[in-house]
């Protein structure tokens, strides 16, 4: 999985490298840093760090993982947050993530796990730290293939934009069927009132509406059919035809879909392979399909977005609003304890 968010103790992760949110002197500290030293073996790790210290804020160095499941520990110093130095803090935090990723790449790491650097005792607001982390990781993955994980210890360690979360919550309230039992009667009443008003309209006006609807329907159907293709067309052929129609490249699509390159190659080479629903949705997001196009796309494999599934309603919110950033979608899915897109 190119980029995912999980709730897990970073010291127990079986990845090529984990990242230590270190201090500039590379001394054993508290929080994540203290946990990493304790799990790796404080004495040998401190001896290795002493040879590399000190480092500057935003820099990164590497040591063996010692007793950890990870082969390496990458130590980076994030900024101590200051409201007066927000721009400087952001540059330094971004550098901490990017320098750690570059160092992992130089050491042939295929997987790496990060904590949310600077968001603990260094005081960086968690939602802002997440935004910087996601942006840096996303930029790095545009040019590199690596499995990147953001490991958070508990819910309190993960906060996303209140504005975004509020908008999604409102959409769920209006569209998720389990939360609308009390509103269904009101909806039916509103629809009935609309039908009653329609009956009172002049006959010629109703005829005009009907005539326009009939004339537009084939055009919409033709556009969708041209885009999605016929049911007998293999999925892989349809997908790569869609990619060409959207003016995108294969690499652009699988990275935008947050898909592993090997999985994408499997889709290309295996004509009979049908991906999971989550992969279909990830590809729909990557291709920037609207809701009608997404529905038609999913139907090709017998899938559909359901109002009774919170995961589907959350994804629908982003597609309906033309927000095709899969990282932002996954942040919200994680906040709602839903599976993530991609991988």
Digit-coded pLDDT (tens) for 51-93: 999 999 999 999 999 999 999 999 999 999 999 999 999 999 9
Got the DSSP string for 45-95?
HHHHHHTT----TT-EEEEE-TTSSSSEEEEEEPPPP-GGGHHHHHHHHHH
What is the arithmetic mean of pLDDT over 293-309? Answer: 92
**Topology of the domain covering 3-159:** 3.40.220
C-alpha distance across the termini of the chain, in Å:
4
Of the listed ranges 102-111, 154-163, 242-251, the least confidently predicted one is 154-163
Nearest to 93 by CA among 56, 141, 140, 129: 129
Compute the residue count for the chain. Answer: 343
pLDDT band at 222 (very low <50, low <70, confident <90, very high): low
Nearest to 129 by CA among 167, 105, 157: 157
pTM (2 decimals)? 0.82
> Can you tell me the distance from the alpha carbon of 43 to that of 54, in angstroms, rounded to the nearest whole number?
18
Digit-coded pLDDT (tens) for 122-133: 999 999 999 999
Distance of CA 161 to the CA centre of its chain: 14
> Can you tell me the distance from the alpha carbon of 59 to that of 203, in angstroms, rounded to the nearest whole number?
74
> Can you tell me the distance from the alpha carbon of 4 to that of 148, in angstroms, rounded to the nearest whole number?
7
* Residues 130, 116 contacting (CB under 8 angstroms): yes
Q: Which residues of the chain form CATH 3.40.220.10?
A: 3-159
Nearest to 114 by CA among 75, 144, 56: 75
């Amino acid at each position: 999985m190119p980029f995912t968010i999980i709730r897990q103790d970073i010291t127990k992760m079986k990845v090529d490298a984990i990242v230590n949110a270190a201090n500039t002197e590379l001394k054993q500290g508290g929080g994540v840093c203290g946990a990493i030293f304790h799990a790796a073996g404080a004495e040998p790790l401190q001896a290795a760090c002493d040879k590399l210290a000190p480092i500057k804020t935003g820099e990164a160095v590497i040591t063996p993982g010692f007793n950890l499941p990870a082969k390496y520990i990458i130590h980076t110093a994030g900024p101590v947050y200051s409201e007066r130095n927000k721009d400087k803090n952001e540059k330094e935090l971004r550098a901490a993530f990017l320098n750690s990723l570059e160092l992992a790449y130089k050491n042939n790491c295929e997987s790496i796990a990060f904590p949310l650097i600077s968001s603990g005792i260094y005081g960086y607001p968690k939602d802002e730290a997440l935004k910087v982390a996601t942006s840096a990781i996303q930029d790095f993955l545009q040019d590199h293939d690596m499995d990147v994980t953001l490991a958070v210890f508990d819910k309190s360690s993960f906060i996303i934009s209140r504005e975004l979360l509020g908008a999604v919550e409102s959409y769920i309230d209006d569209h998720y069927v389990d939360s609308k039992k009390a509103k269904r009667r009101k909806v039916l009443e509103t629809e009935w009132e609309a039908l009653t008003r329609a009956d009172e309209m002049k006959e010629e006006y109703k005829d005009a509406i009907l005539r326009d609807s009939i004339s537009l329907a084939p055009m919409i159907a033709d556009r969708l059919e041209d885009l999605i293709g016929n049911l007998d067309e293999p999925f892989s052929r349809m997908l790569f035809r869609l990619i060409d129609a959207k003016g995108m490249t294969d690499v652009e699509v699988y990275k935008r879909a947050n898909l592993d390159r090997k999985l994408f190659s499997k889709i290309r080479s295996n004509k009979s392979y049908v991906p999971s629903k989550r992969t279909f949705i990830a590809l729909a997001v990557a291709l920037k399909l609207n809701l009608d196009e997404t529905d038609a796309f999913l139907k090709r494999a017998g899938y559909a977005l359901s109002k009774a599934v919170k995961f589907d309603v959350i994804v629908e919110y982003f597609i309906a609003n033309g927000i095709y950033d899969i990282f932002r979608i996954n942040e919200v899915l994680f906040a709602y304890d839903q599976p993530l897109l991609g991988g």
